[in-house]
Chain A
């Protein structure tokens, strides 16, 4: 269901001065201005110019996001320390955890790369889910937003492109095939945790409606 949005043009025809900025909805992609209409549960508000989804009102999305976030946090911690992959060639064995993979570039100038990789596949995803829980919990419970919730959500949004677990997962597949003619590779427990983790991250990210969260942070306890 799509919620109808009125173009700001219509309002301008009537009276521009009664229209305060808080009643205007602006498309973040193409800058089209609309008169704010809140979609009912299950509805979406879509920009008629560039078709970006502006508001998505899903039933019980908040509690689902929190549940998924907690699951992701636990999986990240577990997948980081348990053995991820093990190889075996002519009697020699070696297993690596996610942390080992992240810290593979540890000599000399490549050290920076180690820290970057660790950040992209472990730290950033972990920080993002923690921030999400911190911001969303009071909103879902209809309490006043947590202290610094605005800043926390802003940071979480800025970090979004830098969370690369799904890319790392495909990297695993490529590395596995490359190594497989050099040695026998077997999966550790962390590998399966990571596989589940990737799915949860994608689902969680699609549930989040940015506009609704900002709106709730600005005008708490409205429901």
Chain B
């Protein structure tokens, strides 16, 4: 029953002189800085928002390096003390024939974080330059980043569960390594970076160059 909407006809709030609250979506006349309904301050999709995205992105990347270099987990058994980094731990799992778990850990701790850094950087660049990707694809990419990014935290929870559970005095003990702190910080910074990105920018810039990209 939806309108057979031609995309050309859809106007953005910006075009008709209103601005929507980023928290509760209530529309206000352009230039309003504080939402009269929920009290949130209304973000303008300008360079400031992109600067926040980049600053948090960089902080996340800086934390991601030590997260991979230092040990994530220290396993002490009767015979030996073993320190594993994220990747080292996954390789260890493969040696124990737990390939499925190794894949989950590698996905959550390596592929998703790296993919997220690339995706956010791409989106932030794409709103200032012309992009080969359509608006719909970029919107989808952002939604995937937001939905999946949180799942990187799984490695921290695994470390937490294992180190609280495996405390068998002399027999065996598992303790968290310093990398867990850096990893958690990296995930938190990238989540904040994605949140700082205003998806309206994806649709806004395309409107300005409507003459060149007729259909999206």
Question: Which A residues lie at the B interface, using CB under 8 A?
Answer: 1-9, 12, 16, 19, 21-22, 24-33, 46, 48-50, 85, 87, 89-90, 92, 94-96, 100-105, 109-110, 112-113, 116-117, 120-121, 150-151, 153-154, 157-158, 161, 164, 167-168, 170-172, 174-175, 177-179, 181-183, 185, 210-211, 214, 217-218
Contacts and interface: CB of A to CB of B under 8 A. Distances in A.
Given A117-B160, A183-B168, A105 B180 contact: yes
Given A19-B16, A105-B176, A172-B157, 17 more contacts: A9-B11, A21-B27, A24-B16, A24-B27, A30-B12, A49-B10, A92-B169, A94-B166, A96-B164, A101-B157, A101-B165, A105-B160, A116-B188, A170-B104, A174-B104, A178-B93, A218-B26
Most chain B CB within 10 A, of A27, A104, A183, is at A104
A167 B20 contact: no
B123 interface: no
Contacts, number: 226
A214 B24 contact: yes
B150 A178 contact: no
A184 B150 CA distance: 30
A7 B162 contact: no
A153 B35 CA distance: 14
B25 A214 contact: yes
Nearest to A10: B9
Consensus secondary structure, chain B interface: helix
A210 to B, nearest CB: 8
A26 to B, nearest CB: 4
**Interface size class of chain B, counting residues whose CB lies under 8 Å from the partner chain:** 35 or more
B181 interface: yes
A101 B160 contact: yes
A91 B54 CA distance: 53
A110 B5 contact: no
Nearest to B162: A175
B130 interface: no
